[in-house]
Structure 1
Amino acid sequence: MECQIRRATSLDAEAISEVTINALRKSSAQDYPPEVIARLEHNFSTQAIHRLMMQRQVFVAVVDEQVVATASLDGAVVRSVFVEPGYQGKGIGKQLMVVIHAAAIDASLELLHVPSSITAETFYVSMGYQKVRDEFFGDERTIVMCKRLLE
């Protein structure tokens, strides 16, 4: 699917929040209980997105002038990769990851880590990431994965 990927601006924060919460409610809810989804939603309010944008490189994918996906790079950690459910499976997430990988290479990073949800594990495997370990935050399982960029 044709999309434009660019750095996010503060004007995108509300749309990023909506995409993230929609993905959590419709996709991640298959793998996590409602309490975990509710806790995660709080972490992605518009205000929280504004704070995250000051700490990370945040990117968005835009289709027809609408933000449909987001991903960010926080040092050597890929974070907050979310695609609007109606756009999942169309290659947008992979396009975002190509941009994330390019930004990491520009920063001379050799290794990237990602704290993956259960829902996204197969996506990251398809992008060349390998499982390192599981981490648990109460009843929330996160799969820590890594990928070597420069070989």
Structure 2
Amino acid sequence: MFIRKFKKEDAEIISKLIERNLMEVNIKDYPREHMIEFASYYNPETVKKTAQEGHMYVACENEKIIGCGAIKPFNSENESIIVAFFILPEYHGKGVGKSLIKELEKDEIFLRAERIQVDASLSSHIFYKKMGYEYSGGIAKSCNGENYKMEKFK
């Protein structure tokens, strides 16, 4: 496995990867109509826009894209946010997410920030906790039952 920066031609594959994750993993915790809406939001154009707003990385096995994640500025120069972080379902628990987070944490947008936020899904907050992210305000409570606001301070 290796991690590289996003290329525009990756957008279609990443859009489908996100849709698969939402419809196979996240759908266990959320209403189907919300996952369909979220998947349609992450169309190839939105993926490209997300990459332009910050830095997006893709995890690959040989030439196959198996995961993605982006870091971008958030609120101020002292804050950044991790977005569009998804791993193909069959690669969950195999270290892909951990490697991708480590790559994002070497990025200049991460390094310049004092605080990094991630809006973790109901199924992913345990992963982020293992990666050193804490629940905002120290409370492990989801926001409106939809996600967990998590953060890391440097």
CA positional deviation for 1:119: 1.2
CA separation in 1, counterparts of 2:121 and 2:39? Answer: 14
Alignment of 1:131-142 (within 5 A): 131-132=135-136, 134-136=142-144, 141-142=146-147
Q: Show the counterpart of 1:30.
A: 28
Q: Say if 1:88 and 1:106 are closer, same or farther in 2 by CA, change over 3 A.
A: closer
Q: Show the counterpart of 2:92.
A: 88
CA shift digits 1:98-132 (9 cap, x unpaired): 01111157642222110111111111011011111
CA shift digits 1:40-88 (9 cap, x unpaired): 1111111221222221211000101011000000110011110001111
Please tell me whether residue 54 in structure 1 is matched to residue 52 in structure 2: yes
Task: List gaps (5 residues or longer) in structure 2.
Answer: 74-79
TM-score, length basis structure 1: 0.89
Q: Which amino acid aligns with 1:144?
A: K
Q: Which amino acid aligns with 1:61?
A: A
Please tell me whether residue 110 in structure 1 is matched to residue 114 in structure 2: yes
Specify which of 64, 67, 71 is matched with residue 65 of structure 2.
Answer: 67
CA separation in 2, counterparts of 1:99 and 1:73? Answer: 10
Q: Say if 1:41 and 1:50 are closer, same or farther in 2 by CA, change over 3 A.
A: same
CA separation in 1, counterparts of 2:63 and 2:12? Answer: 14
Q: Which amino acid aligns with 2:56?
A: V
Tell me if the contact between 2:22 and 2:39 (Cα under 8 Å) persists in the aligned partners. Answer: yes
Task: List gaps (5 residues or longer) in structure 1.
Answer: none
Report % sequence identity. 24
CA separation in 1, counterparts of 2:55 and 2:41? Answer: 17
The number of residues matched between the two structures is 144
CA shift digits 1:1-51 (9 cap, x unpaired): xx1101101011011111111111111011101011011111111122122
TM-score, length basis structure 2: 0.87
Q: Which amino acid aligns with 2:96?
A: I
CA positional deviation for 1:134: 3.7
SS of the residue corresponding to residue 129 of structure 2 reads helix
Q: Say if 1:106 and 1:73 are closer, same or farther in 2 by CA, change over 3 A.
A: closer
Root-mean-square deviation over aligned CA pairs: 1.6
